[in-house]
Amino acid sequence: MEKAPDAFEEKTVASDNARSEQDTGAARRTVFCANVFDVMVRLYGEPGIASLCLEAQTTYAVDVPSLLFFALADSDGHGADDGEMRRLLERAGEWRSLFVLPLRHLRLTLRQGRRNTAEIEFYEKIKAAELEAERLQVRRLADDFLPLEGPSGLAARYLETISVPESEAGTLVGQLRDAAKAVSRGFPHHAH
């Protein structure tokens, strides 16, 4: 009978370790969600990434903020199941269609017709508003993403849902993965 307390203690230690791993995962995800937009801006600024994203946006109607969000989530080891991912995209998509896309349309229309200083200043304000709308879209994604768990590979799964051909999706995800490694150190991690 001497062994019983030891076995109980081992189980308790094992469940405490599992709980602290879960807490660490939740803490890492909280840090990810709090910092994702700033890191995303750095990722977009990496060599070749902006043109890659704009080409994907033009050719396949890729939502660049969602794609970059998912690429960074993959890089930082976070995931979500397919149903949750669809809901994330629906909520972000609502915001995008109501605010981001109309502002982008205005900005692109204005870009063609700038005539004087006042119009150039107005263009810059619209451009800033479009960026702010994208930041708020990412904030929405992050808030919805925070409690989720599941498999990673989100960027590839997102591109699949919008029918980007597999070979091009693979290239895009690979280039984003490489660039994300350079910037994902932007997520401050607590020492274990």
Q: Could you tell me the residue ranges of all domains in the chain?
A: 10-185
Cα angle 154, 158, 159; round to 5:
120
- Whether residue 18 is predicted with pLDDT greater than 50 in this model: the reply is no
Confidence at residue 6, expressed as pLDDT on a 0 to 100 scale: 52
Confidence (pLDDT) at 29 = 86
Poorest-confidence range of 4-18, 67-81, 125-139, 147-161? 4-18
Query: What angle is formed at CA 98 by the lines to CA 146 and CA 95, rounded to 5 degrees?
Result: 5
- 118 versus 11: which is more confidently predicted? 118
Lowest mean pLDDT among 9-13, 66-70, 185-189: 9-13
- What local confidence, expressed as pLDDT, does residue 191 receive? 41
Write down the pLDDT at residue 112.
Answer: 85
Q: What secondary structure, in 3-state letters, does 48-111 show?
A: CHHHHHHHHHHHHCCCHHHHHHHHHHHHCCCCCCHHHHHHHHHHHHHHHHHHHHHHHHHHHHHH
Contact 78, 145 (CB under 8 A): yes
pLDDT at 10 over 70: no
Nearest to 150 by CA among 27, 29, 23: 29
Would you give the distance in Å from CA 172 to the centre of its chain? 15
Task: List all residues 6 or more positions away from 34 whose beta carbon is below 8 Å from its beta carbon.
Answer: 142
Confidence (pLDDT) at 131: 94
Which band of pLDDT confidence, cut at 50, 70 and 90, is reported for residue 190?
very low
